[in-house]
Structure 1
Amino acid sequence: MRLATVSTADGPLAVALLNNEAALNIAKAAKDLPGVAGEILRAGTIQAIVDRSAEALTALLEITKEANSGGHANATFDPRGSFLAPIPHPRKNVFCVGRNYAEHIAEGERAQNTKIGITDHPVYFTKPATAVVGHEGDVLLFPSVSEAIDYEVELAVVIGKAGRNIPKESAYDHVFGYTILNDITARDVQRRHGGQYFKGKGLDGSCPIGPWIVTADEIEDPHNIAIRLTVNGDMRQDGQTRDMIFDIPTLIASLSEGLTLEPGDILATGTPSGVGYAMDPPQFLKAGDTVVCDIPKIGQLKNTVRLA
């Protein structure tokens, strides 16, 4: 099942995407649904569904099945051009993982003429909620701040069950679903702040997410997925999630050590090689560029670059 948030005259609205690409207004379709599940679905947000997915998902699957068979016609509409990030305002910073693909580490070493190496433990950083934008939203350029805005396509995990000190063997029990994230990075800002990640990766518009969340049951093996990115149709990144150094169970177990993960938390899992700063010569984003992140089992996240 694919769950998205779209913009409407009444504000953001959670929808389920049907087989014919129409959007099902979940809150409207659940208007007569009794019990706790009905209350959750009528809240009209993906966060509410993720918060109590055990109660909500079974009812939502049934409603979606009915809609795909022709039911709930008064609750369906064309969602094109109105996608927001699936969780438009995350409660917490977005968790991210650096240096999780060997070829990306190698290209960084060549570009910087330095030894970076593979770490013994995952490298974590965060992006603020103010950086989040949705599908077809704008990646912003701030010329007075940075002249080296780069891209990084990533598979992102959406947490659906709270936990701390989560064992690797039960990590997938805590996954609600998957989406796409573009870790936009101001390389020069990153360098001048000592190489630390937060400032150079936290500018407004630097965290496109979407276009929707695919629930975990739809992806049998998240480590058998192609992951690609194009700029103006030119293929820049073309990798496979099986090449992650630290797999998803390892990342969840490690991140949750002494740190509670909560429903709706988002964890980006790293990027393959092909980033702009490692090209010869470097190729940074410029106003008017179109960036498309493509993970075939999820979809395509498209954004345009513009001056702020």
Structure 2
Amino acid sequence: MKLLRYGFPGQEKPGLLDQNGNIRDLSGIVSDIAGDVLSSAGLERLRSIDPSTLPRVEGDPRIGPCVGQVGKFICIGLNYSDHAAESGMAVPPEPIIFMKATSAICGPDDGIEIPRGSEKTDWEVELGIVIGKAAKYVEEAQALEHVAGYCVVNDVSERSFQIERSGQWTKGKSADTFGPLGPWLVTRDEIPNPQNLRMWLEVDGKRFQDGSTETMVYGAAFLVSYLSQFMSLQPGDVIATGTPPGVGMGLKPPVYLRPGNRVRLGIEGLGQQEQLVRSWNRQG
């Protein structure tokens, strides 16, 4: 299934994408794509519904972040060896973990707002893992049983805030609009091998990232197991699993986002995002 949320920010309704690409309204069945809806039983209930019996959503509504009520937005750094090399950093002996503020979450096409004082806003296409079943001290062999599905993430980053301002990476990762999720949450049964998905990103039509989850240092199952040793994972938690090479920071000379740029990105089977870059403003 391809699950989604549509409508105005903060007022999103749950929906699913039928086989013809039509949005079907799920609000008469569930209140949100969140919590128990993401459990195996919750997803099986939705899977048993004939989409043609659900109301068709007319027009071209805004698509919101594909999962609601996210408790934790966990990110993995330097998880592609070639990206680590372009960043001038070594592949870590264990996954680098940092957090992204949940207030950064937005819809896949909502746009990127460059923060006040930013000169180094960058892009990162990433595979997102959405947790469906609570996980604590799980073994790698069982880890994917705790996954509801996958989505596209743009881990937008301000490199000066992240690297040059001391302390945790979180401060360079958490500005408003720095966490586009979606367009869809694609359930795990449709992605039998999350380690073989092509991924790409373009700015103004020029392709900068063109990679595959096959080259991840630490795969999805390992990451879910690993993270569960340090914190319990809850339904709706999102894990951004790292980015392949081609980020702006790694280019020579570096290239960063400016107002008016248009960013397009996607992952095989998970859909595409498109964001117009704009400046911060006091009313933003």
TM (normalized to structure 2)? 0.94
The Cα of 1:232 is off from its aligned counterpart by: 1.1
Distance 1:184 1:166 in 2: 30
Whether 2:252 is the aligned partner of 1:272: answer: no
Number of the residue aligned with 2:18: 18
**SS at 1:249's partner residue?**
helix
CA separation of 1:128/1:263 partners in 2, compared to 1, >3 Å: closer, same or farther? Answer: same
Distance 2:231 2:122 in 1: 30
Number of the residue aligned with 1:78: 58
CA separation of 1:88/1:306 partners in 2, compared to 1, >3 Å: closer, same or farther? Answer: farther
Structure 1 residues without counterparts, runs of 5 or longer: 29-41, 110-115
Number of the residue aligned with 1:101: 80
- Give yes or no for contact 1:190–1:199 (8 Å, CA) kept in 2: yes
**SS at 2:34's partner residue?**
helix
CA separation of 1:49/1:14 partners in 2, compared to 1, >3 Å: closer, same or farther? Answer: farther
- Give yes or no for contact 1:153–1:293 (8 Å, CA) kept in 2: yes
**SS at 1:199's partner residue?**
helix
Number of the residue aligned with 1:138: 111
- Give yes or no for contact 1:101–1:271 (8 Å, CA) kept in 2: yes
Number of the residue aligned with 2:91: 118
**Equivalent runs, 1:32-111 vs 2, <5 Å:** 42-51=29-38, 53-63=39-49, 66-67=50-51, 70-72=52-54, 75-78=55-58, 80-92=60-72, 94-109=73-88
Distance 1:95 1:4 in 2: 20
**Counterpart of 1:264 in structure 2: which amino acid?**
G
Distance 2:171 2:121 in 1: 13
**SS at 1:55's partner residue?**
helix
**SS at 1:76's partner residue?**
coil
The Cα of 1:284 is off from its aligned counterpart by: 0.4
The Cα of 1:88 is off from its aligned counterpart by: 4.2
- Give yes or no for contact 2:65–2:183 (8 Å, CA) kept in 1: yes
6-15 or 222-231, which deviates more: 6-15
Distance 2:71 2:154 in 1: 19
CA separation of 1:78/1:233 partners in 2, compared to 1, >3 Å: closer, same or farther? Answer: farther
**Equivalent runs, 1:99-248 vs 2, <5 Å:** 99-109=78-88, 116-142=89-115, 144-194=116-166, 196-248=168-220
Distance 1:243 1:170 in 2: 22
Q: Which has the larger radius of gyration?
A: 1
- Give yes or no for contact 1:149–1:187 (8 Å, CA) kept in 2: yes
201-210 or 19-28, which deviates more: 19-28
The Cα of 1:49 is off from its aligned counterpart by: 4.7
**SS at 1:251's partner residue?**
helix
Distance 1:88 1:294 in 2: 21
The Cα of 1:289 is off from its aligned counterpart by: 1.1
**SS at 2:160's partner residue?**
helix
The Cα of 1:89 is off from its aligned counterpart by: 4.2
**SS at 1:277's partner residue?**
helix
**Counterpart of 1:210 in structure 2: which amino acid?**
G
Number of the residue aligned with 1:31: none
CA separation of 1:50/1:121 partners in 2, compared to 1, >3 Å: closer, same or farther? Answer: farther
Whether 2:13 is the aligned partner of 1:6: answer: no
**Counterpart of 1:78 in structure 2: which amino acid?**
E
CA separation of 1:44/1:300 partners in 2, compared to 1, >3 Å: closer, same or farther? Answer: same
**SS at 2:142's partner residue?**
helix
The Cα of 1:80 is off from its aligned counterpart by: 2.9
Distance 1:91 1:120 in 2: 27
Q: Indicate the percent of aligned positions where both proteins have the same amino acid.
A: 34
Give the aligned CA root-mean-square deviation in angstroms: 1.7
- Give yes or no for contact 2:34–2:68 (8 Å, CA) kept in 1: no
Structure 2 residues without counterparts, runs of 5 or longer: none
Number of the residue aligned with 2:269: 297
CA separation of 1:195/1:215 partners in 2, compared to 1, >3 Å: closer, same or farther? Answer: same
Distance 1:15 1:242 in 2: 30
**Counterpart of 1:154 in structure 2: which amino acid?**
E
